[in-house]
Amino acid sequence: MVDTRPFLPVSSHAGSDPTGPSENRRKPMKLQLSIFFVLLTVGFFAALLTSNNGSDNGFVKENEHGSLASPSSEKQLRPVSRGPAVGVSEKSNRLFAKDNENQLAYPWNNSMLSWQRTAFHFQPEKNWMNDPNGPLFYKGWYHFFYQYNPHAAVWGDIVWGHAVSKDLIHWLHLPLAMVADQWYDKNGVWTGSATILPDGKVVMLYTGSTTENVQVQNLAYPADHSDPLLINWVKYSGNPVLVPPPGILDKDFRDPTTAWLTSEGKWRITIGSKINKTGVALVYDTKDFINYELLDGILHAVPGTGMWECVDFFPVSKTEENGLDTSVNGPSVKHVVKASLDDDRHDYYSIGTYHEKNGTWIPDEPKIDVGIGLRYDYGIYYAAKTFYDQNKNRRVLWGWIGESDSEAADMQKGWASVQSIPRTILFDKKTGTHLLQWPVEEIESLRLKSYEFNQVKVQAGSVVPLDVGPATQLDIIAEFEIDNEALEKTTGSNVTFSCSSSGGTVERGALGPFGLLVLADDSLSEQTPVYFYIAKGSDGKLKTFFCNDQSRSSVASDVNKQIYGNLVPVLEGEKLSLRVLVDHSIVESFAQGGRTVITSRVYPTKAIYGAAKLFLFNNATEASVSASLRIWQMNSAFIRPYPNDKESQ
Which residues are identified as catalytic? Answer: 131
Per DSSP, the three-state class of 502 is coil
Strands (E), 326-446: 333-341, 346-355, 360-363, 374-375, 382-389, 394-401, 415-416, 418-419, 423-427, 435-439
Phi, psi of 3 (to 5 degrees): -70, 115
Cα 347 from Cα 339, distance rounded (Å): 6
Per DSSP, the three-state class of 517 is strand
- Amino acid residing at 36: F
Residue-wise over 363-395: b if at least 16 C-beta within 10 A, else e? bebbbbbbbbbbbbbbbbbbbbbbbbbeeeebb
Strands (E), 85-201: 127-138, 141-149, 159-165, 171-178, 189-196
Cα 124 from Cα 175, distance rounded (Å): 12
- Amino acid residing at 124: P
Contact 132, 122 (CB under 8 A): no
* Cis geometry, peptide bond prior to residue 71 (ω within 30 degrees of 0): no
Residue-wise over 489-528: b if at least 16 C-beta within 10 A, else e? ebeeeeebbbbbbbbbbeebbbbbbbbbbbbbbeeeebbb
Cα 131 from Cα 117, distance rounded (Å): 19
Please state whether 14 falls in left (phi above 0), alpha (psi between -120 and 50) or beta: alpha
Contact 160, 131 (CB under 8 A): no
Q: Other C-beta atoms within 10 Å of 249: how many?
A: 13
Cα 236 from Cα 447, distance rounded (Å): 44
